[in-house]
Amino acid sequence: MSAITATLYPCAHCKETGACSTGHNGLSCAVCVGEHTLKGEHYGLACGVCGGMGKAEPRTERINKRMAPILAYSMVILLLIAIGLAAYTNKHLSEILAFAGTVIGAITGHYFSRSET
Ligand SMILES: [Zn+2]
Ligand SMILES: [Zn+2]
């Protein structure tokens, strides 16, 4: 659960400059020219890989970010069910409450306290 924070890696395509100059003679490469729906030769176009930020986000991490809140929600629901069952059967209630309280606290603190950008 700790690998969800945004880790940006330096964009190798533009070498963190944010502008593509990987074509010949410092021109922007064909891929980035295409990204901007342009044709021909262009200098200093915003890097198509990182969007001109100089830093790129791993593709898998983007999926993780989308998946994480869903997983968090289902985790909370599962734990609530577990608490309900434990309260009903009166077995291991204190253990489950302590465990679920910690997990739910961590999840809500992590996902619902900060504004997502
Ligand atoms: Zn780049
Ligand atoms: Zn490029």
User: Tens digit of pLDDT per residue, the chain (117 long)?
Assistant: 445 556 788 888 999 999 999 888 889 999 899 888 888 888 889 998 888 888 887 766 666 667 777 888 888 898 889 888 888 887 778 888 888 888 888 877 877 666 554
Nearest ligand for residue 42 CA: 2
Nearest ligand for residue 45 CA: 2
| pLDDT score, position 113 | 67
Nearest ligand for residue 26 CA: 2
53-59's contacts with Cβ under 8 Å and 24+ in sequence apart are: 53/8, 53/11, 53/18, 54/10, 54/11, 54/14, 54/16, 54/17, 54/18, 55/8, 55/9, 55/10, 55/11, 55/16, 56/8, 56/9, 56/10, 56/11, 56/13, 57/6, 57/8, 58/7, 58/9
Ligand 2 centroid from CA 64, angstroms: 26
